[in-house]
Amino acid sequence: AQRVTQPEKLLSVFKGAPVELKCNYSYSGSPELFWYVQYSRQRLQLLLRHISRESIKGFTADLNKGETSFHLKKPFAQEEDSAMYYCALLSGSSNTGKLIFGQGTTLQVKP
Amino acid sequence: DAGITQSPRHKVTETGTPVTLRCHQTENHRYMYWYRQDPGHGLRLIHYSYGVKDTDKGEVSDGYSVSRSKTEDFLLTLESATSSQTSVYFCAISVTGTTGELFFGEGSRLTVL
């Protein structure tokens, strides 16, 4: 079965602290994984995808196939990082571009 | 914003009434999707479309139907709304084929009383 799990509903950190949002997946084959973010009163938007290996807004995510994880990390959290974060897996059942989302984690960065 | 708009943005309705949500894109992208967002469940796919008159079911399609009679519009219909369909509905389009990079609409908040 294809599944994405984000174990934390809420992650609360102080400004300047490191952040790690956890994502685990279940998938047979080579997964394509994404992080999407939804800031308050804004649309859901793509933050990064593992294939591009980019760092966006200071965030990085490394695919660990052994642990079936794709955790999102940032060394120093900023207040503007407060948002809902979703991990997503590209469905491999057909070439349709469907995404399977995790439950989401709310990141709260306190001043 | 990839030219995607949803309407209505907010709607309150009563159990048993039909409801139609509209997703409109200003470009000719082939793939369009309807998701619902619920606390504890994240986003779940309801239906998707891969072209005019070409649609298929997603994970939570029961109680919903869709239509796509022209490229730019993808309609989601709740045939007889129930309280369990109270949710925020998001439309999305793929501008890069089937790569998983989606652009989302602003969402439609539906309350079924």
From CA A90, how far away is CA B72, in angstroms rounded?
A: 24
What pLDDT is recorded for position A94? 67
Residue from the list B31, B90, B99 with its beta carbon closest to the beta carbon of A44? B90
Q: Does B97 touch chain A (CB under 8 A)?
A: yes
Q: Does A86 touch chain B (CB under 8 A)?
A: yes
Shortest CA distance from A100: residue in chain B: B44
What pLDDT is recorded for position A93? 67
pLDDT tens digits, residue range B4-24? Answer: 999 999 999 999 999 999 999
Looking at chain A from residue 6 to 25, which residues have their Cβ under 8 Å from any Cβ of chain B?
Answer: 6, 9
Q: Does B57 touch chain A (CB under 8 A)?
A: no
Domain ranges of chain A: 3-110
* CB within 8 Å: A43 and B97: no
Residues A80, A84, A85, A89: is their CA dihedral positive or negative? Answer: negative
Residues of A in contact with B89 (CB under 8 A): none
Which residue ranges form the domains of chain B, and what is each CATH number? 4-112 (2.60.40.10)
Question: Which of B7, B48, B35, B30 is CA-nearest to residue B104?
Answer: B35
Residues of chain B short of pLDDT 50, as ranges, are: none
Residues of chain A short of pLDDT 70, as ranges, are: 93-94
**Top CATH class, A3-110:** mainly beta
pLDDT tens digits, residue range A73-103? Answer: 999 999 999 999 999 999 876 678 899 999 9
* CB within 8 Å: A101 and B106: no
What pLDDT is recorded for position B2? 63
In a mutational test of the B interface, the residue from A101, A105, A106 whose CB has the highest number of chain B CBs within 10 Å is A101
CA distances from A46 to A39, A64, B21, B60, B65 (A): 11, 20, 24, 23, 27
Contact B94, B101 (CB under 8 A): yes
Residues 6+ apart with CB under 8 A from A51: A32
Q: What are phi and psi of A79, to 5 degrees?
A: -60, -35
Shortest CA distance from B100: residue in chain A: A97
Residue from the list A34, A97, A103 with its beta carbon closest to the beta carbon of B42? A103
What pLDDT is recorded for position A41? 87
Helix-strand-coil split of chain A, %, nearest 5: 5, 45, 50
Residue from the list B44, B97, B106 with its beta carbon closest to the beta carbon of A97? B97
SS3 A81: helix
Residues of A in contact with B103 (CB under 8 A): 43, 45
Structure tokens at A22: 């956890």
* CB within 8 Å: B42 and A86: yes
